[in-house]
Structure 1
Amino acid sequence: MNCNLSPIILFAFNRPDVLRNTIQSLLLNEEAKSSDLYVFVDGPRSNKSGEDEKVKEVQEYVKSIKGFKSLHYTFSEKNKGLGNSIIAGVSQIINQYGKAIVLEDDLVFAKNFLSYMNQGLDRYEKEDKVFSICGYSNKVKIPHGYEYDSYFCSRSSSWGWATWADRWNSVDWELKEWSRYSEMAKPFNKWGGSDCFKMLNDWKNGRNHSWAIRFCFSQFLQDKVSLFPTVSKVQNDGFDGQGTNCKKWSRFKYEFDYRGEKSFKFPAKTDVDKHLYKEAMRYHSIGIRIWSKIMYLIYR
């Protein structure tokens, strides 16, 4: 690989077992040994009995990680929450390197994940239209004759992704122009799915702490796209009922890449394929979301 490898930023909390799975899958990537790893571990919540011990176990494991070019870790004494942790941690590292691959501790990666992410970052660094590179993809039907291993779509995924410092620093994390933004519900939902504006509005009103919806809203405002693989390089093991933001059931279905192929054919242009856009966005349709709520009640 000719590109300069991006640093890997990993956010962890209170689940040592899933973190071990995440690290072990990363180490199966040949590029891991040449990559700098930065791990941020959030502090325990004061109202959660026994969480302090779990966080300490995570911290001890993090100190023992080997196999990367370098290991750096930051342990927060207080609980910041995932959103605040990611914004602060990514801002710190991405402004040192100019780019970063960002992960959470309940993800498992294909053997070609790091190769795909680094090649994508290198390929589209100068393409201002591209806001992020995503390692996860919902299962989509590839149209006949489609010749690429990835496709462009709106709404970046937060399950194993990467971006560049200039794109990251363009995000208005405080939503300072809310009086204007609050009038954009219909176009935002049309762009990214029927649940977009509700999540944004819920953040504004303190009902969630999502960094990702603010990142996507900035992407919407700038009319930019994200790159997705046609076959997912990431599987999310967070749907076990223990994750902070995931239920025991997910409406998102994917096909995982077990092949390990590292030769990728990226789209020559940043145009959005209408068929693939429709395929990807159906996971955010009103009908699928209603079905999801029913399933959440069953599997809660």
Structure 2
Amino acid sequence: MQLAPIVIFAFNRPNALRNTIQSLLKNEEAKESDLYIFVDGARLNKKGDQEKVNAVQDYVKGIKGFKNFHYTFSDKNKGLGNSIIEGVTQVINQYGKAIILEDDLVFSTNFLSYMNQGLNQYEKEIKVFSICGYSNKIKVPKEYKYDTYFCTRSSSWGWGTWANRWNSIDWELKNWEQYSSQRKAFNKWGGSDCFKMLNDWKNGKNQSWAIRFCFAEFLQNKISLFPIISKIKNNGFNGEGTNCKKWSRFRYEFDNEGKKIFSFPTTLDINRHLFQSAMSYHSIIIRIWSKIMYQIYR
């Protein structure tokens, strides 16, 4: 099995990146995987940013344990969205597929095995838009027998895709007048917060690449694969993350078993019960509760 390259995006959190790398190295596939790290530049108006970025760069230069290792340091601050779009495009067009990570994630010891099996399993299934390593805690029907399930809205917390899917995305949303008429349909497809995030990007209120990725998935009527038990935990909810608060409405079960062979659904159908359970995290009621908790944990 040809292993997909790993692409990590880092910025100004050396300890977070160190935890990410150390957990990756506990995957036996790491030593046979190519690793690319992109470190964004410091913000000019942010005191202490340059020192933190320098610390990240110093750590990156000493990373070992992967098959091949490449790093790129930006001399200016591009922002997370632009950094990811540029970096993924560069790597994925070279390899045809990639596993994409950020610097606040910690992985199970079978994460790379799961991701590579999923990417190989569905490479020719054009209906599948991405392979996701994170999953919210869901209610699984007793009769459900697979280790994975399909859902609509992709997750940006550790994922993989293929060049032909990635290159199909309109990052500039050039047909905005047409797109904006699909507010209700987009929210029904991916959750009540979807269109607001997309509209906020259009109005310069966020830099999210992920909502544009999901919107492309929606427009193309595609699906994403998720594990029943999450292979990732997000340590970014400490107030330092670009898009994370100090509290999260998302709950998960982390895979500590280390299973290396996974079962996949025999069809590309979405299980209604799993879909409803997964989408419940994006309901209006849960989001209102989250806003209250965000204020408490500011």
Normalization by structure 1: what TM-score? 0.99
Match of 1:129 in 2: 127
> Quick one: which amino acid aligns to residue 70 of structure 1?
N
SS at match of 1:132: strand
- Aligned match for 1:158, one of 156, 159, 171: 156
User: 1:270-281 residue pairs with structure 2 within 5 A?
Assistant: 270-281=268-279
Amino acid of the residue matched to residue 66 of structure 1?
K
Query: 1:119 aligned to 2:113?
Result: no
- SS of the residue aligned with 2:181? coil
Shift of 1:263: 1.1
Q: Deviations over 1:153-210 (max 9, x none)?
A: 0010000000000000000000000010010000000000000000000000101000
Residues of 2 paired with 1:72 and 1:252: CA distance?
A: 33
- 1:252 counterpart (250, 253, 263): 250
Cα drift, residue 244 of structure 1: 1.3
Residue aligned with 1:114, SS = helix
In the alignment, which of 85, 88, 105 is matched to residue 87 of structure 1? 85
| 4+ residue runs over 4 A deviation | none
Q: RMSD value over aligned CA atoms?
A: 0.4
Amino acid in structure 2 at the alignment position of 1:149: D
Distance 1:263 1:44 in 2: 41
Query: Residue 178 of structure 2 corresponds to which residue in structure 1?
Result: 180
Post-superposition offset of 1:268: 1.1
Among candidates 67, 80, 105, match of residue 107 of structure 1:
105
Q: Secondary structure at the match of 1:108?
A: strand
1:25 to partner: Cα distance: 0.2
Question: Counterpart of 1:145 in structure 2: which amino acid?
Answer: E
Distance 2:111 2:137 in 1: 17
1:238-282 C-alpha deviation (Å, 9 max, x unpaired): 000111110000000000000010010011111100000000000
Q: Which runs of 5+ in 2 are unaligned?
A: none
- Alpha-carbon distance in structure 2 between the residues aligned to 1:71 and 1:266: 31
Write out aligned runs for 1:38-57 (5 A). 38-57=36-55
C-alpha displacement at 1:293, in angstroms? Answer: 0.2
Residues 45-80 of structure 1, C-alpha deviation per residue, up to 9 Å, x if partnerless? Answer: 001101101000000100100000011000001000
In the alignment, which residue of structure 2 is the partner of 1:10? 8
Q: Which residue number in structure 2 is paired with residue 168 of structure 1?
A: 166
Q: How many residues align?
A: 298
Quote the offset at 1:10 in angstroms. Answer: 0.2
Amino acid at match of 1:5: L
1:198-242 CA-to-partner distances (Å, cap 9, x unmatched) read 000000010100000000000000000000000000000000011
After the TM superposition, which residues 213-232 of structure 1 pair with which residues of structure 2 at under 5 Å, given as runs? 213-232=211-230
Q: 2:234 — aligned with what? A: 236
Residue of structure 2 aligned with 1:204, choices 167, 183, 202: 202
| TM-score where L is the length of structure 2 | 1.00
One-letter amino acid matched to 2:103: D
